[in-house]
Amino acid sequence: MTTSHYIAGRWVEGQGSDCISVNDPALGQPFAELMAASAAQVDQAVAAARGALPAWKATSASERAGYLRGFAEQLGQRREALISVQMRNNGKPRHEAEIDLDDAIATFNYYAELAAQLPSKNREVPLAAPGFTARTRLEPVGVVGLIVPWNFPLVTSAWKLAPALAAGCTVVLKPSEVTPLVEQAYGQIADALGLPAGVLNIVNGKAETGAALSNHTGLDKLSFTGSNSVGSQVMRSASAQCRPVTLELGGKSAIVVFDDCDVDQAVAWIVAGITWNAGQMCSATSRLLVQDGIADTLLPRLQAALENLRVGNPLTEEVDMGPLTSQAQWLKVASYFATAREEGLQCLAGGRALDRDGWFVSPTLYADVPKDSRLWTEEIFGPVLCARRFATEEQAIAEANDSRFGLVATVCSTDLARAERVADALEVGHVWINSVQAVFVETSWGGTKGSGIGRELGPWGLSAYQSVKHVTRCLG
């Protein structure tokens, strides 16, 4: 795969110095290679987006909506191929890959509807002062750089790409070097739909390519999803140009289980929150706060549920959880197992890498983890759950909020008034009550504190790519 970059409406060979090896994590072996884009090719992609911007932002909202519906339809037509790529390159079980694809399709359809509803005329603004008129108009931010992660590549790119195109922006998309294949579909779809050249550009590469894009003076906005360490570098790049940035970063989220909760339901919600995508989620509810009255009943059942999960190769087995997506992540999670042993943590389930081909680890549960443990405070990005007990509602809220992150949380209680009260008190961007982590395109996504800046999805996702202009005229 040498023609792996989509620039100015053409597929071109990579001219960078890096060869990207694409791996099957269930086997721990590469199955494809591609050459990274050079800095000059990043320049070409940004120039193509800049050149396409005037005509694209002049298109009608209904025309842009038509293209977005086309993206949704074309994703559906490529369904089996895209599911297979995600199973092989990400290690996702089939049911997870299917949900990811459905999420991407729903995102394009949703922003097609929002685009179709965009006002075609200026909106008059009433003024208290006589002798003046004012009007406001929404304009696209301009050329945007989109940098997406490896854990939900098809989904995260849709969350950025669809609203950016709906707003009238042109785009340079940089997929993760770990999972570069599935995003190729967006370039193929652009060709199939006859999307004007330069509106969508895709450049693949490692950190050097990402830096070339985030530092580029030709961008008007950056949107990044990934780790806090890289996010801080992206933010520094944006600050040098004084341009807007959206950052969706890490999390160390809590799931709070009160003693009136149904134990079986609670176990199901807890397991889903820590093992979906093998725990490789910024939203993973990796801190379990369980009330004293239910802890002795819930923890043994949770232990059994984790030990009974089917872990294996999703291409050859019926599994509940696949491998970690990269060797680097496998090594990172294994290092936390070693830290847990050094700290003397009580391991109820897992706590080890599996002795088989590929990058597999066991779903893991530690009990009574101290608040100063690295496993309690740091984002692990794997299926590693740490549990603590609490006595009162006030204690649960205080411990849940005692984190430098603030992305999501889950509350489990049959006392709905209490559940709503606790949800309101949690310092996060999204709370689920008595639910798995169901994410709907109509809602917002993003966090507080160290979990990022800005919001994606819903109308907030569209407004992130719009600029507000006011025109005031004197009547005298």
Quick one: which of 190, 175, 405 has its CA closest to 287? 405
Q: 211: Cβ–Cβ under 8 A, 6 or more apart, which residues?
A: 233, 237
CB 279 within 8 A of CB 350: no
Domain segments of the chain as ranges: 5-249+451-474, 254-440
Give mean pLDDT in consecutive 10-residue pieces for the chain, a chain of 476 residues: 83 93 96 95 98 97 97 98 97 98 98 91 88 94 98 97 98 97 96 98 96 96 96 92 95 98 97 98 98 98 98 96 98 98 98 96 98 98 98 98 98 98 98 97 97 97 96 92
Q: Please list the residues that pair with 448 across neighbouring strands.
A: 406
Please report, in angstroms and rounded to a whole number, the separation of the first and last CA atoms in the chain. 65
**Rg of the chain in Å (alpha carbons):** 23
Burial of 42 (0-12, 13-18, 19+ CB in 10 A): buried
d(CA 48, CA 325): 33
The SS3 assignment for 438 reads coil
CB 276 within 8 A of CB 96: yes
Task: Taking the CA atoms of 176, 179, 180 and 182 in sequence, report the sign of the dihedral they define.
Answer: negative
DSSP code string of 4-70: -EEETTEEE---SSPEEEEEETTTTEEEEEEEPPPHHHHHHHHHHHHHHHHHHHHS-HHHHHHHHHH
d(CA 292, CA 78): 49
CB 36 within 8 A of CB 19: yes
Residue 4 has a pLDDT of 87
Residue 248 appears among annotated catalytic residues: yes
Q: 164: Cβ–Cβ under 8 A, 6 or more apart, which residues?
A: 144, 146, 171, 223, 465
d(CA 148, CA 174): 7
pTM exceeds 0.75 = yes
In the CATH scheme, what architecture does the domain 5-249+451-474 have?
A: 3-Layer(aba) Sandwich (3.40)
d(CA 157, CA 468): 24
CB 402 within 8 A of CB 301: no
Residue 256 has a pLDDT of 98
d(CA 101, CA 432): 22
Residue 242 appears among annotated catalytic residues: no
CB 259 within 8 A of CB 291: yes
The catalytic residue among 96, 248, 399, 456 is: 248
d(CA 56, CA 206): 29
The catalytic residue among 261, 282, 386, 412 is: 282
In the CATH scheme, what architecture does the domain 254-440 have?
A: 3-Layer(aba) Sandwich (3.40)
